[in-house]
Amino acid sequence: MALAVYLIYLGVKPVSSCFDAKKNQNEEGVDCGGICQRACSFNVEPLNILWTRPFEVRPGSYDVAAFVSNPNTLLGVSSLVYRFKIYDADNILVAIKEGQTFVNPGENFVVFESNVAVGQRRPQRAIIEFESAVWNRVEKSVPFLKADKKEFANAPFPRLSAEIQNKSIFDVGDIYAASVLFDENGNALGVSQIKIDGLKAEGAKTISFTWPVPFEKEPA
């Protein structure tokens, strides 16, 4: 079954250090780099957007998702504002949807917005834009989360169930779980996301992702 479940947990906390507006101690820039938690902009690699797509939920309503990779293995963002722009076949902008997420070091993650109203237009493509953000060095360990025991049924309504396991020795707060279903060519057919209100150390919880109508193509 060609499907994936991506789990993200906020491992980047806002910090307050190096704020005297001077380049001193061993800072690489003004209040950044060196002993500072804040990274200098010239040390930050841009996020890689692997794909962005709209998905029809019902006439006039679409989900939109982007799959993004953070190449910065030691740097993350606690608050990142994004903007989806959705276009039709005539390249007319039919909808804009803004939101906020976070980025952990070295992670692949899904950015997702559901039920975006597009009126009578039929979306063909989407892009995602990110606003500038404060990047910080992250030293805290990110918990080991795993999705196991995945089962999918397309009828009568699509449902993907999975057991989310916290393999860490400490409790984890809010977890965002995103599922992506693929066809035989590796193209995304559908995306869904839910929030889990924490998991105890070495705990597990079964969750379900659902879609309103069966897929014309079943996931490969």
pLDDT tens column, 166-217: 998 888 888 999 999 998 888 899 999 999 998 999 999 999 999 998 988 7
**Residues β-bridged to residue 146:** 165
Q: Do the domain assignments include residue 202?
A: yes
Q: What are the start-end ranges of the H helices in the chain?
A: none
CB atoms within 10 A of CB 136: 22
Q: What tokens does 51 get?
A: 């794909």
Res 25 pLDDT > 80: no
Q: Residue 177: give the domain boundaries.
A: 145-210
Rounded to 5°, angle at Cα 39 from 107 and 112: 35
User: Is residue 48 domain-resident?
Assistant: no
Give the pLDDT confidence score for residue 144 in this predicted structure: 84
Residues 30-84 pLDDT 10s: 678 776 888 898 999 999 999 999 999 999 999 999 999 999 999 999 999 999 9
- Asked whether residue 127 is assigned to any structural domain, the reply reads no
Rounded CA-CA distance 152/181 in Å is 10
The tens digit of pLDDT for each residue in 105-125 reads: 999 999 999 999 999 999 999
**Is residue 153 included in any domain, yes or no?**
yes
**pTM score > 0.85 for this model?**
yes
CA 32 to CA 85: how far, in whole Å?
Answer: 32
In a domain, 185, yes or no: yes
**Is residue 47 situated within a structural domain?**
no
pLDDT at 114: 96
- Give the C-alpha separation, 144 to 141, whole Å: 9
Q: How many domains does the chain have?
A: 1
